[in-house]
Amino acid sequence: MNDADESALIDRFEPGEAGLVEARDFVSAEPFVFESGQTLPGFTLRYETYGRLNAARDNVVLVCHALSGDHHCAGIHSLTDRKPGWWNNLIGPGKAVDTNRFFVICSNCLGGCQGSTGPSSSNPATGRAFGITFPFVTVRDMVRAQKRLVDSLGIASLHTVIGGSMGGMQVLQWGIEYPSFVRRLLPMATTARESAQGIGFNEVGRQAIMQDPEWHHGDYPVHGGPRVGLAIARMMAHITYVSDASMDRKFGRRRTGTAASSGAAGHAYTFDVQFEVESYLRYQGEAFINRFDANTYLYITRAIDHFDLAAASGSLEQAFSKVEADTLVVGFTSDWLFPPEQNRAITLALLRAGKRASYAELKTDLGHDSFLLESEELYGLVRSFLS
Amino acid sequence: MNDADESALIDRFEPGEAGLVEARDFVSAEPFVFESGQTLPGFTLRYETYGRLNAARDNVVLVCHALSGDHHCAGIHSLTDRKPGWWNNLIGPGKAVDTNRFFVICSNCLGGCQGSTGPSSSNPATGRAFGITFPFVTVRDMVRAQKRLVDSLGIASLHTVIGGSMGGMQVLQWGIEYPSFVRRLLPMATTARESAQGIGFNEVGRQAIMQDPEWHHGDYPVHGGPRVGLAIARMMAHITYVSDASMDRKFGRRRTGTAASSGAAGHAYTFDVQFEVESYLRYQGEAFINRFDANTYLYITRAIDHFDLAAASGSLEQAFSKVEADTLVVGFTSDWLFPPEQNRAITLALLRAGKRASYAELKTDLGHDSFLLESEELYGLVRSFLS
C-alpha cells in the first residue's frame, strides 16, 4: 500500500472525522499453528486503516479490540451510515489518535465473526461453519495472526499498540511477543491475568449459550442457533461493563411508559418489562444476537479465560523482561471487571522488570466501558503519550 | 406456646448449638390482601424457634431471611443432619444472638418455597401449583404475613428484628409498619431501594428462567421445570454474593484435576470445566435447582425489585419518620451488591428523621455474603446492640 492508495481510500467525510472508510481482507495463505497445537492452512483478517502511512513507515498505530468489538473503530462506511466506528471519538483527524499524523490499523481478531476467520467461517472441508471444530484461540494467537497482517503492509515497526479490555491484553502480548517491533504500549482497563470472577462471568455466559437447546453442540444454521442463550449472556455481561452509579444515573428505578401508568401503588405487577433498566438490557441482548455469533462468544471468552501472562514465564516480571517499549497503563476507578489494582499490577511488574512504564488512573463512574467514553482527560493522556 | 412446649422442642444437642429443632407451620385462616390488591383466603408460614419465651414475653428476636434462605437458621433437624441452619454461627446458646437469653423466631417468607405458601404451593381451586397465578408479593406483604405469625405466638413486642440482604429490607419494613411493636432493628448488607444494577441482575436471572423452554409459562411439573434457567440464574447471582478478592483467594486460576493434566502449555482446550471456579459455580447451580422453585425465584426477585421505601412517602427520611426502634445498620466494605454507601444512606436518613441510629462498617473482602460469615467483630457488634 502506498500513499496514493490511501488517499483514494480515505475520502475525508467531514473535518475531524476519519471519513468514509472501507474494510479490506488480508488473506494469509501460510499455515497457522495455534497455541493449542491445532492448525489452519491459512486465514483471513478483516481490517480497516485510517490516515496515511508516511515515507519512513514509522507512524503506525495498531488498535486492538475487545470481546465483542471489530475492525471498524473509526469513520463511517457510507454517507447513510448512522453509527461511526466504536472508537471514533478517539481516532480521527486532529483527535487524540490523530489520523493526520498516524496511520491507524484495526483488524477483527482471529477467531472473530466480523469477517476474520473464526468459528462462524465456512470450513472448506465440509462446506459448513466450523462451529466448535474451530481450533481454540488464545490472545497470543490473535497477536501472531495480526503480525502477519502488519508485515503484509510493509511495516517495519509499530509506533504504538493501543486497546482496552481484551484489546489491552493483546497490547501487552504484542510487547512480549515482538519486543523490538513495538515502541509504545497503551493498554487500558485490562489485566495481565483473567481473575476467577472474570472466568466465572464468562462461564455463566457460555452455559447460557451451550444449554440453549438451539445450540446443537455448536452445529446450528447461520441465522438460527442459541439466540436466547446469547442474549442472556450479553445482558449479564453488559452489567459488568458499566457501574452501579452509571446505571443509577441513567435508569435509576424509572418505570417504562406502560408500567408507569398501571398497577396499584405505582407498581405494575408483572414479569414483563417494568423498569427502564430491564428494557435497556433486553434491547442490548436483542441487538447483540443480530451481530454476533454464539460459538464465537464461546471461543473469545475462553481466550480471555486463558490469558495469564505470568503462567508461561513463572512471574509477570519475568514475562515483561523482554519488553522494549514504553508503556502507559490506564485504569479507571469504577471499573470492577478489570479494576484499578489489576492495571496497577501490570505497571508495577513492568517497573520491577526495569522497564519504562507509567500508570494513570482516571476517576470515572462509568465502569469498565470508561475506556470507550468521551473524556478530555483520557484524550490528553493518549495525545501526550503518542507525542 | 409456653416454656414447657419449648423445653420439649429444644432438646439441646451440644453446648453452644441451638440443638435439635423442628419446623412448624403457622396457618392463618384469615383472608390476606396483598399490596397488589390480589387476595388469598389464608396462608401458611413455616417457622422455627430457638430458646425459650420468657414470662414477660419480651425476649423475642425475629430473624428475616434473604432471597434463597428459609426458616431453618440455626440448629439441626436430626442427629444425622450434617448441615446446621444458615445462621447457626450467629444464633445459639452463648452466641451473639444468645438462645439462653432470647426466644428466636425465623419463618420462611410469604411467597417462599420451603413450606410457606407461595407459587409452588397447591392452589386448592385447581389442585395444581399456583405457578404465576400466585399473587405478586412485596417485602411489605412478607412482613405483614409474618406479623400474624408473631401475634399467634402471643408476643406483644419484638426485642429485635435482624436480617441481611432481603432480610434487611424486611427489618426496615418492620420498623416502619409496626413502629411501636419493635424495639431494635438490625439490618445488614441491605438497601432502602433496590438499585438499577440490582434490578438488572434480577432481570437477567428471570430471563434465563422464563426463556427456558421447560418453563411453560410457569406451569411445569413439580420435579421438572426450567432447571437449566434456574441454575444459570443462580450461578450468576452467586458471583454477585461474593467478591473478586474472595474468589481469587478461593479459586484463583487453579485448574480442575482433569484440566491440570492435559493440553499443551498447561491449557486444557475445552468448553467443559477447566477452572475450579467453573466447577464450583456449576455445583452451586445444580445444588440450587434441587432445593428451590423457579417461579418462586421470579416472585422473590420481583419483590426485591419493587423495594423502595422512599417511593411511598416521598423521601426516605419521611418513610422513617414513624420508626420508634433503635437501629444499628451494618455494611461490609466488599459488598458490591448492596454496597456500604447504600447502608450508610439508611443510617443517615434515620438520623435526619431524628431517630436513634448508628452505622458500623466492617472491613471484609468476602462480598455481600459477609453478613453470613464467621466474624468475631460482627458477633461483638450484634451482642452489644442486643444488650
Contacting residues of B for A250, CB less than 8 Å apart: 196
Name the burial class of residue A146, with classes exposed (0-12), middle (13-18) and buried (19+) by CB atoms within 10 angstroms of its CB. buried
B197/A243 Cβ within 8 A? yes
CATH code for the domain defined by A3-194+308-386: 3.40.50.1820
pLDDT, one tens digit per residue, over A342-376 is 999 999 999 999 999 999 999 999 999 999 989 99
Q: Average pLDDT of A175-198?
A: 98
Q: Do A277 and B244 touch (CB under 8 A)?
A: no
Structurally, what CATH architecture does the domain formed by B200-295 represent?
Orthogonal Bundle (1.10)
For the structural domain made of A201-294, what CATH number should be given? 1.10.1740.110
Q: Which pLDDT value is given to residue B17?
A: 66
CB contact under 8 A, A305 and B239: no
Comparing CB atoms, the residue among B200, B267, B275 nearest residue A247 is: B200
Asked whether residue A18 carries a pLDDT value surpassing 90, the answer given is no
Mean pLDDT of A164-186: 98
Report the distance separating Cα B131 and Cα A134, nearest Å.
Answer: 43
**What are the tens digits of pLDDT across the range A141-166?**
999 999 999 999 999 999 999 999 99
Rounded to whole angstroms, how far apart are CA atoms A295 and B142? 43
Q: What is the pLDDT of residues A232-287, one digit of tens each?
A: 999 999 999 999 999 999 999 999 976 655 544 445 689 999 999 999 999 999 99
- Cell 497470543 identifies what position? A140
Positions of chain B with pLDDT lower than 50, given as ranges: 1-15, 263-266
pLDDT at A19: 80
Q: In the predicted model, what is the mean pLDDT of residues A287-293? A: 96
The string of DSSP letters for A90-157 reads TEETTSSEETTT-EEEEEPPTT-SSSSSSTTSEETTTTEE-GGGSPP--HHHHHHHHHHHHHHTT---
| Cell matching residue A193 | 491475568
Name the active-site residue from A28, A121, A165, A334. Answer: A165
Predicted confidence at residue A284, as pLDDT, reads 97
* pLDDT recorded at residue A177: 98
Distance of residue B369 Cα from the nearest chain A Cα, in angstroms: 15
Any known ligand binding at B234? yes
Which pLDDT score is estimated for A58?
Answer: 94
Catalytic residue among B71, B246, B368, B370: B368
Indicate which residue of B165, B246, B334, B370 is catalytic: B165
Contacts of B339 in chain A (CB under 8 A): 244
What is the spatial distance between Cα A371 and Cα A378, in angstroms, rounded to a whole number?
Answer: 8
Model pLDDT for residues A191-217, shown as the tens digit of each residue? 999 999 999 999 999 999 999 999 999
Amino acid B259: pLDDT: 62
Contact A277 B306 (CB under 8 A): no
What per-residue confidence (pLDDT) applies to B262?
52
Based on the residue annotation, tell me whether B368 is a catalytic residue of this protein: yes
DSSP tally for chain A: helices H, then strands E: 13, 14
The pLDDT mean for chain A works out to 93
Q: Are strands A91-92 and A97-98 parallel, antiparallel or unpaired?
A: parallel
Domain residue limits, chain B = 3-193+309-386, 200-295
Q: Is B163 exposed, middle or buried (0-12, 13-18, 19+ CB in 10 A)?
A: buried
Residue B223: predicted pLDDT: 84
Contact A209, A325 (CB under 8 A): no
Which of B269, B273, B316, B335 to mutate to test binding with chain A, by most A CBs within 10 Å of its CB?
Answer: B269
Whether the complex's predicted ipTM is more than 0.90 is answered with yes
Please state, in angstroms and rounded to a whole number, the distance separating the CA atoms of residues B161 and B181: 10
Q: Average pLDDT for residues A93-120, to the nearest whole number?
A: 97
CATH architecture of B3-193+309-386: 3-Layer(aba) Sandwich (3.40)
Q: Confirm whether B335 is a catalytic residue.
A: yes
- List pLDDT tens digits, range A61-92: 999 999 999 999 999 998 888 899 999 999 99
The one-letter code for the residue type at B19 is G
